[in-house]
A and B are shown apart, each in its own frame.
Chain A
Amino acid sequence: MAARDPVLRVEDLTTEFMTDAGPITAVQDVSFDLYQGERLGIVGESGSGKSVTALSIMGLLERNGRIDRGSIRLNGRELTAVSTDELNDIRGEEIAMILQDPMTALTPTLSAGTQIVETVLEHDDVSRTAARDRAMELLEQVRIPNPETVMDSYPNELSGGQRQRVLIAIAISCSPDVLIADEPTTALDVTIQAQILDLLHELVEDRDMALIHITHDLGVVSEMTDRVAVMYASRFVEIGPTRELFVQPRHPYTAGLLRATPRKTDTEPELLSGTVPDPKNRPTGCNYAARCPHATEACREDDPPLVAAEDGRPVACVRTDELGYLPAAPTADPTETATERAGSGGDPLLEAIGLRKEFTAAESILDRVLPGGDPPIKAVDGVDVSLGAEETVGLVGESGSGKTTLGRLLISLTDRTAGDIVFDGEPLDSLSSDELRSRVQFVFQDPNSSLNPRQTIRDILGHAVRHHGTHDGDVDATVRSLLEEVGLEPNLVDSYPFELSGGQRQRIGIARALSVDPDVLIADEPTSALDVSVQGQILALLERIKRERTLAMLFVSHDLSVIRHISDRIAVMYLGEIVETGRTERVFREPKHPYTEALLSAIPRIDPRKTADRIILDGEVPDPGRPPTGCNFVTRCPHAMSECGERDPALVAVEGAEDGQRRSACFLHHDTEKPASRE
């Protein structure tokens, strides 16, 4: 084979789905070449067609989907024309795939070993023992701790990160030429994501595989790919080398996405308004025209083809030569937008002292009486937290850190095991539940499941308004003004939740919380289920509402870059404890806990020119039922000292602290408890 023949050549790929409302085009005229050893990123928001592109290539479309036209050539062979048997030979051996959710991609009733071994046996004529040996080797290559144990483990006994490693082991088991990774780290925590990306990078490099990396995360694409294609409404709108495209984007959508993504720098993200057009109802002309700040009449006439701009980069925009390169980063002056917020002096509005929550695994009385049960899980293990009037506190942590439980404890959605909560000078328990609900409200993570699907928006909001008696006679008018406040058309009152988009539903969730005119809002990952542009819109909405209504807010999130821009103060949680807290800018500038430091460095950088000096933490979060002795972080800490395994460091004020607000639970940063013999 000639050196410059592509391994995979996709030409004019168009995929359709048959629906009750007629055919929908999910992928339209997608073309690209992929060379050996090359890493191509496909980036886009949900519904853009990036996953369908992958499934089309793999021949894994659902029954109602079909490739309408176009060609897919793998090593010169036309995949759209091969028989099922041939396709089965090709899949796994020449081209393999890693699916998004490691929790569902493995078959729960087969051991991890079986699922690797069967792949090897299917493609190679080897004995069962040889296949098993190969599986063991593969597990070592994907750097799984205790490969012997993992071989015989069922998927439910493995963590998310371990499952993703098993999936990778399966995918590379027969040394494919092309590997397609569809959002391989989206379901994982950021420190685990860093491990997996590092592993993928190394494997692709060592084996000289070609990689198609599909993701919505611009940071991941920036770090993991050589070339990137931006997909919008079923089409590629721009494709080019990552280093160029992410620094000098040409298509307005590429630029908009780049500028709308929160970064951990001081610059505030810009707003990308509007939403992706409904695939059943695409506009004539450019799909992006309605959202594009540069749109002209010409844009609404014809669909712009993907053609080379003056610099040779293919861009689907009629004005690209006229517009030239667009700015990739937000242009606002950082000093103007990211001023240190005033926050509150004086007494906190909501304060918790020594808060503790244990979940018992026991389901029945018998479970508790009989010996040998699991120990209780300390979800929140002695936490002090306070929220001042008009202050926003960001609570950040990975899954299992206890951040969501803490949020729920503060509003008595969950009963606490121990600790005191004081709200506005009074113990929380002395407030009636109605009184509490009318002053503290909750915004849920999943807007789909927190709204009753059988009620109209009028019913949902009307009920809240009536129940808490905040209206002045006219419930309907109050509902309408709430809708306007959260940026929705008042004529949506008769809609059902399923008729709304994810972003609109989350706006309804916020309107419901506002309907009682609360003093405090507790928002639990309110944007984590949403696309970048919608996430930006919701964050801007929350920002505006809390300013206009002078609300205090506790913002719970796993995403440091999101928390960066909305919080005055942040608290970092790890395994049920707060390990560091302080003013947001200070914590970002100079973290005082190794965990915070690792979290910050684990965030993939969007700017490809900045090389990541990444701290990759070993291992995973320990079982909260059996936390380590001493510091909870000791098992993963790169700076762990002997003392850390003996005593649990308290959360105390650290040197150079802003009037005692900066606290850290780490011996490295403790003045008084610092061991004398530190190197």
Chain B
Amino acid sequence: MKRGFLRYVTIRILQTIPVLVGISMVVFVIIHFAPGDPVVNRLGIQATEENIQELRRAYGLDQPLYIQYLEWLSGILRGDFGRSLTQGGRPVADLIRSRLPATLFLAVSSLFVSVVIALPAGVLSAVKKNTLTDYGVSVGALSGVSIPNFWLGLILILLLARILGVLPAGNYVSPAERPIAALEHVVLPAITVGTAYAALLTRQTRSAVLDNLDTDNVRMAKSKGLAPRRILTHHVLKQSLLPVITVAGLQFGYMLSATVVVEQVFAWPGLGRLIWLAVRQQDYPTVQGTVLVIAFIFVMVNLAVDLAYSYLDPRVSAA
């Protein structure tokens, strides 16, 4: 059993390598074929042809694309993500390192909000299928998906920060330095991102619980006289968590990308803002590095989800 599990994990980790290489290629190609020229961008339109060529050589942009890619890739393998074309030429790795905690903090908080809303709502709505409660949850969920992130963010800022003044309107505070203040600051952005995904997760939880309520093993549990509460917690919930966790894992990835918009609204100094700026300025190394890191996190979260599966469901690692 133990050995089988280690083997499974090893295989899964090795399998992520081709995925990451593929992503790096796609990112590299897309950004290089995007219209515009970072060098011209930087030097302005008055620059002479000579200056442009010089800077191109300095950045290695005169090389054929595949050489550039291989150099970039070999740099990454050594932990060198290159230097930003803007931002005073700071190493991309430094930029990411300084921004990553803010984004992760926001994404994790959002996921937390989303799960805290979705699990009880989904279970309740399944157990009370076709009652007013169920319909209420459905309407709530529908509104959740329908309201755009940025708009909800603005409304929350207006209401809770400006008018009532109970919570700060964003602005990242490091949870390592001032934990309480950090939580206060993350509440609004986390609710903004979290509610939208809570809606989806609620529906997922509801249908998973419904599926598992109508099974032979639940009938068996009832026939042995178990209390309804125990049937729900022990026989239904654990099984229902499987699809819910899959969706939550995928959502974590989407949340990382949702931050691009929400970080603007809340002036959150995370990867989202970094990417946004870098794309506008055609800062190749920064965009490539940041997207690759996000992709890496995404892949790792999904790996973690699969491993959680084998913990929750004994059938998985045996397969």
Alpha-carbon distance A373/B175, docked complex (angstroms): 45
B68 within 8 A of A: no
Report the separation of the CA atoms of residues A451 and B215 in the bound assembly, to the nearest whole angstrom: 26
Q: A60-B222, A118-B226, A170-B220 are in contact. Are A104 and B11 (CB under 8 A)?
A: no
Q: Mark A167-187, 1 if CB is under 8 A from B, else 0.
A: 100110110000000000000
Q: Which of B226-242 contact A (CB under 8 A)?
A: 226-228, 230, 234-235, 238-239
Q: Are A110 and B230 in contact (CB under 8 A)?
A: no
B220, A167: Cβ atoms closer than 8 Å: yes
**Chain A's nearest CB lies how many Å from the CB of B6?**
8
Of A90, A104, A107, A171, the residue contacting B221 (CB under 8 A) is: A107
> B315–A156 contact, CB under 8 A?
yes
The interface centre, meaning the residue of B10, B312, B314 with most chain A CB atoms within 10 A of its CB, is B314
Q: Is the CB of A60 within 8 A of B219?
A: yes
Q: Tell me if B7 counts as interface (CB < 8 A to partner A).
A: yes
State whether A105 and B234 are in contact (beta carbons under 8 Å apart), knowing that A90-B225, A122-B225, A370-B10 are contacts in the complex.
Answer: no
User: In the complex, which of the residues A88, A100, A372 contacts B226, with contact meaning CB atoms closer than 8 Å?
Assistant: A88
Select from chain B the residue with minimum beta-carbon distance to A372: B7
Could you tell me the distance in whole angstroms from the C-beta of A246 to the nearest C-beta in chain B?
29
Task: Give the docked Cα–Cα distance between A325 and B15 (Å).
Answer: 71
Nearest Cβ distance between residue B175 and chain A, in whole angstroms?
34
What's the Cα separation between A62 and B129 when bound, in Å?
13
Residues of A with C-beta under 8 A to B313: 108-109
Please judge, given known A-B contacts A101-B216, A370-B11, A372-B7, whether A108 and B225 are in contact too, CB under 8 Å.
no
B78 within 8 A of A: no
**What separation, in Å, do the CA atoms of A110 and B224 have in the docked complex?**
15
Q: Is the CB of B315 within 8 A of A92?
A: no
Question: Is B217 in the interface zone, CB < 8 Å from A?
Answer: yes
List which B100-152 residues lie within 8 A (CB) of chain A.
Answer: 129
Q: Which residues of B contact A157 (CB under 8 A)?
A: 314, 318
* A contact residues around B221 at 8 Å (CB): 107
Q: Measured between alpha carbons, how far is A128 from B235 in the docked complex, in Å?
A: 19
Asked if B314 and A119 sit within 8 Å, CB to CB, the answer is no
What is the CA–CA distance of A491 and B235 in the complex, to the nearest angstrom? 48
In the bound assembly, the distance between CA atoms of A91 and B222 in angstroms comes to: 8
Given A156-B318, A364-B11, A366-B14, the answer on whether A170 and B224 have CB atoms closer than 8 Å is yes
For B226, the closest partner residue in chain A by CB is A122
- Find out whether the CB atom of B3 lies under 8 angstroms from the CB atom of A372: yes
* A96 pairs with B223, CB closer than 8 A: yes
| Contact yes or no, A154 B315, CB < 8 A | yes
Give min CB distance, A243 to chain B, whole Å: 31
Contact B230 A122, beta carbon cutoff 8 Å: yes
Contacts of A97 in B (CB 8 A): 220, 223
| In-complex Cβ contact of A122 among B3, B217, B220, B227 (8 A) | B227
| Residue of B with least CB distance to A110 | B234
At the interface, is chain B mostly helix, strand, loop or mixed? Answer: helix
Q: Which residues of B are found within 8 Å of A62, using beta-carbon distances?
A: 214
The smallest beta-carbon distance between B180 and chain A, in angstroms, is: 38
Whole-angstrom CA separation of A81 from B266 in the bound complex: 60
Provide the residues of chain A in CB contact with B3, threshold 8 Å: 372
**Nearest Cβ distance between residue A331 and chain B, in whole angstroms?**
41
Query: Please, how many angstroms separate the alpha-carbon atoms of A272 and B238 in the complex?
Result: 47
| Cα distance A107–B230 in the bound complex, in angstroms | 13
Task: Answer yes or no: A517 CB below 8 A from chain B CBs.
Answer: no
- Find chain B residues with CB under 8 A from A563 CB: none
Q: Is the CB of B14 within 8 A of A122?
A: no
Whether the pair B314, A108 counts as a contact (CB closer than 8 A) is yes
Contacts A60-B223, A119-B225 given; does A106 touch B217 at CB 8 Å: yes
| Nearest opposing residue in chain B for A106, CB measure | B217
Given that A60-B219, A92-B223 are contacting pairs, would A107 and B315 also be in contact in the complex, using a CB cutoff of 8 Å?
A: no
User: Are A99 and B216 touching (Cβ within 8 A)?
Assistant: yes
Which residue of A has the minimal Cβ distance to B1?
Answer: A157
Contact indicator B11/A123 (Cβ below 8 Å): no
Distance, CA A413 to CA B252, complexed state (A): 43
User: Separation in Å of the B213 CB from the closest CB of chain A?
Assistant: 10
Please tell me the size bucket of the interface on B: 20 to 34
Which A76-122 residues have a C-beta within 8 angstroms of B?
84, 87-93, 96-97, 99-101, 104-110, 118-119, 122
Report A-chain residues with C-beta under 8 Å of the C-beta of B215: 104
How far is A167 from B220 in the complex, measured between Cα atoms in Å?
9
- The interface residues of chain A lying within 8 Å CB-to-CB of B11 are 364, 366-367, 370
Task: Output the least CB separation between A182 and chain B (Å).
Answer: 10
**Interface: A58 (CB within 8 A):** yes
Q: Which of B10, B219, B224, B312 contacts A171 (CB 8 A)?
A: B224
CB distance from B318 to the nearest CB of A (A): 6
Q: Nearest Cβ distance between residue B256 and chain A, in whole angstroms? A: 28
What is the chain B residue whose CB lies nearest that of A170? B224
Cβ of B33 to closest chain A Cβ, rounded Å: 32
Whether the pair B10, A108 counts as a contact (CB closer than 8 A) is no
Pairwise interchain contact B14-A109, C-beta atoms closer than 8 A: no
* Binary per-residue interface labels of chain B (292-315) against chain A in the complex, 1 for a CB within 8 Å, 0 otherwise: 000000000000000000001111
Chain A positions 301-356 with a Cβ under 8 Å from a chain B Cβ? none
1/0 per residue B1-29: CB within 8 Å of A? 00110010011001100000000000000
- Contact status A122-B224, CB under 8 Å: yes
Q: Is the CB of A373 within 8 A of B7?
A: yes
CA distance A123 to B226 in the complex (A): 8
| A171 to B, closest residue via Cβ | B224
Q: How far is the CB of B70 from chain A (nearest CB, A)?
A: 25
Whether A92 lies near B224 (C-beta < 8 A) is yes
Residues in chain B near residue A171, CB distance under 8 A: 223-224
Minimum CB–CB distance from B246 to chain A (whole Å) comes to: 15
List CB contacts (< 8 Å) of A9-64 with chain B. 55, 58, 60, 62-63
CA distance A327 to B216 in the complex (A): 39
Distance (Å) between the CB of B134 and the closest chain A CB? Answer: 13
Please determine whether B239 and A108 come into contact, CB atoms closer than 8 angstroms.
Answer: yes
Q: How far is the CB of A163 from chain B (nearest CB, A)?
A: 11
A372 neighbours in B (Cβ, 8 Å): 3-4, 7
Interface centre among A100, A104, A108, A123 (most CB of B within 10 A): A108
B15 touches A88 (CB 8 A): no
Q: Mark A423-436, 1 if CB is under 8 A from B, else 0.
A: 00000000000000
**Which chain B residues border A170 with CB–CB below 8 Å?**
220, 224
Q: How far is B217's CA from A221's CA once the two chains are assembled, in angstroms?
A: 25
Distance between Cα atoms of A154 and B1 in the complex (Å): 12
Give A458-488 as 1s and 0s: 1 = Cβ < 8 Å from B's Cβ atoms: 0000000000000000000000000000000
Given A99-B219, A105-B217, A366-B15, also A93-B314 (CB < 8 A): no
**Which residue on B lies nearest to A102, using beta carbons?**
B216
Contact among B129, B225, B238 for A93, CB-based, below 8 A: B225
Q: What is the CB-to-nearest-CB distance from B276 to chain A, in angstroms, rounded to a whole number? A: 38
The CA of A571 and the CA of B312, in the complex, are separated in Å by 44
Q: Give A123 to B223 CA distance when docked, in angstroms.
A: 12
Chain B residues, CB < 8 A from A88:
225-228
Q: Judging by beta carbons under 8 Å apart, are B314 and A92 in contact?
A: no
B230 to chain A: which residues have CB within 8 Å? 118, 122
Are B15 and A364 neighbours in the complex by a CB distance under 8 Å? yes
The answer to whether A58 touches B314, judged by C-beta atoms less than 8 angstroms apart, is: no
Closest chain-A Cβ to B124's Cβ sits at a distance in Å of 17
A107 to B224, CA, bound (A): 13
**Is A105 a contact of B224 with CB atoms below 8 Å?**
no
C-alpha spacing A372/B6, complex, angstroms: 10
Enumerate 28 A-B pairs (CB-CB under 8 Å) in ascending A order.
A55-B219, A60-B219, A63-B129, A84-B228, A87-B225, A88-B227, A91-B222, A92-B225, A92-B226, A93-B225, A96-B223, A96-B224, A104-B215, A104-B216, A107-B217, A107-B235, A110-B234, A110-B235, A118-B226, A118-B234, A122-B230, A156-B315, A170-B220, A171-B224, A173-B224, A366-B15, A370-B10, A372-B7
Q: Nearest 7 A-B pairs (CB), nearest first? A: A92-B225, A154-B314, A91-B225, A92-B224, A97-B223, A104-B216, A107-B217
Taking A60-B219, A88-B225, A156-B314 as known contacts, 16 extra A-B pairs with beta carbons closer than 8 A to each other, sorted by chain A number, are: A87-B225, A91-B225, A92-B225, A99-B216, A105-B217, A107-B221, A107-B235, A108-B239, A110-B238, A119-B224, A122-B225, A122-B230, A123-B225, A156-B318, A364-B11, A370-B10
